[in-house]
């Protein structure tokens, strides 16, 4: 009708964390920010200290129009591959938003399928506020998950490296073999598993 304003299109920023680790889930976040929302220092989560990330995480969760997390577990990563599992985690994050966005701004080169339009933005986690916000809450959430995982499997040091292939992690993996949360489709884990199975076969265990 004449004089009526067009309905505003809701846009969500989407990002993930945890593609590279040898263990644990990949975690995605989707965030819808208020129009004109400003937050000094908002940027790619990897460029922030843990203290600053935690402070921003609390503010984003409190002030966002909506936010949601999605994850794909290690077993799903092994079944699907890391690329497909990452898109699945993103789909789950966006599906959890209320209200539902019509358009996504996604960090990287690929976008999750679904009932929305989407734009992939390389480096978006450092240039687009909603994507930066998503990167922060995904990072904080995944780090917390890996601290919990450390409580279950303390010998691997998940609280210090979040599952990434540090020297400490690789040494523990070679010494102990993989735990149930390790991604068996990743080469270092597959090698450790083969060594462990070979040792069992040699000893008749």
- Predicted confidence (pLDDT) per residue in 86-134, tens digit: 999 999 999 999 999 999 999 999 999 999 999 999 999 999 999 999 9
**Within a domain: 84:** yes
Q: Which domain does 90 fall in, by range?
A: 11-154
**Within a domain: 195:** no
**Within a domain: 181:** no
CATH number at residue 135: 3.30.420.10
Q: Domains in the chain: how many in total? A: 1
**Within a domain: 183:** no
**Within a domain: 6:** no
**Within a domain: 60:** yes
- Predicted confidence (pLDDT) per residue in 28-71, tens digit: 999 999 999 999 889 999 999 999 999 999 999 999 999 999 99
Give the chain as a 3 state SS string.
CCCCCCCCCCEEEEEEECCCCCECCEEEEEEECCCCCCCCCCCCHHHCCHHHHHHHHHHHHHHCCEEEEEEECHHHHHHHCHHHHHHHHHHHHHHCCCCCCCEEEEECCCCCCCCCEEEEECCHHHCCHHHHHHHHHHHHHHHHHHHHHHHHCHHHCHHHHCCCCCHHHHHHHHHHCCCCCECCCCHHHHHHHHHHHHHHHHHCC
**Within a domain: 197:** no
**Within a domain: 194:** no
- Predicted confidence (pLDDT) per residue in 136-159, tens digit: 999 999 999 999 999 999 999 999
């Amino acid at each position: 009708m004449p004089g009526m304003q067009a309905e505003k299109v809701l846009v969500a920023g989407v990002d993930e964390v945890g593609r590279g680790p040898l263990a644990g889930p990949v975690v995605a976040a989707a965030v819808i920010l208020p129009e004109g929302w400003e937050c000094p220092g908002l940027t790619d989560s990897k460029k922030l200290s843990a203290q600053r990330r935690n402070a921003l995480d609390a503010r984003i969760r409190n002030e966002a129009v909506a936010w949601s997390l999605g994850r794909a577990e290690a077993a799903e990563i092994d079944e699907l591959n890391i690329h497909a599992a990452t898109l699945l985690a993103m789909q789950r994050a966006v599906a959890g938003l209320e209200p539902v966005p019509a358009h996504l701004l996604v960090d990287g080169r690929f976008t999750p399928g679904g009932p929305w339009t989407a734009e992939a933005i390389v480096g978006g986690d450092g240039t687009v506020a909603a994507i930066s916000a998503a990167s922060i809450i995904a990072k904080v959430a995944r780090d917390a998950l890996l601290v919990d995982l450390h409580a279950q499997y303390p010998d691997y040091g998940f609280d210090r490296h979040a599952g990434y292939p540090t020297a400490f992690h690789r040494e523990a993996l070679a010494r102990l073999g993989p735990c149930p949360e390790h991604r068996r489709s990743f080469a270092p884990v597959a090698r450790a598993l083969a060594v462990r199975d070979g040792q069992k076969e040699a000893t008749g265990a």
